Amino acid sequence: MKALIIVDVQVDFLPEGALAVPAGDTIIPAINVLQKDYDLVVATQDWHPADHGSFASQHPSAQVYDTIELHGLAQTLWPDHCVQGTAGAELADTLNTAAIEAIFRKGTEKDIDSYSGFFDNGQRKATGLQGYLKERAVSEVHICGLAADYCVYFTAMDSLEAGFKTSIISRATKPIDKTTFMDKKEIFLQKGGRIL
What residues does each domain of the chain span? 2-48+83-195
SS3 content of the chain, % helix, strand, coil (to 5): 30, 30, 45
Domain 2-48+83-195 top-level CATH class: alpha beta
pTM: predicted TM-score of the whole model, two decimal places: 0.96
What are the phi and psi torsion angles at 81 (to 5°)?
-155, 155
> Is 39:1 a contact under the CB 8 Å cutoff?
yes
Question: Which residues belong to the active site?
Answer: 8, 106, 151
Helices (H), 76-177: 129-135, 153-161
What are the phi and psi torsion angles at 165 (to 5°)?
-65, 125
Torsion of CA 67, 181, 98, 47, to 10 degrees: 0
Q: Which helix (H) or strand (E) holds 181?
A: helix 178-190
For every one of its 196 residues, what pLDDT tens digit does the chain have, with 9 covering 90 and above? 999 999 999 999 999 999 999 999 999 999 999 999 999 999 999 999 999 999 999 999 999 999 999 989 999 999 999 999 999 999 999 999 999 999 999 999 999 999 999 999 999 999 999 999 999 999 999 999 999 999 999 999 999 999 999 999 999 999 999 998 999 999 999 999 999 9
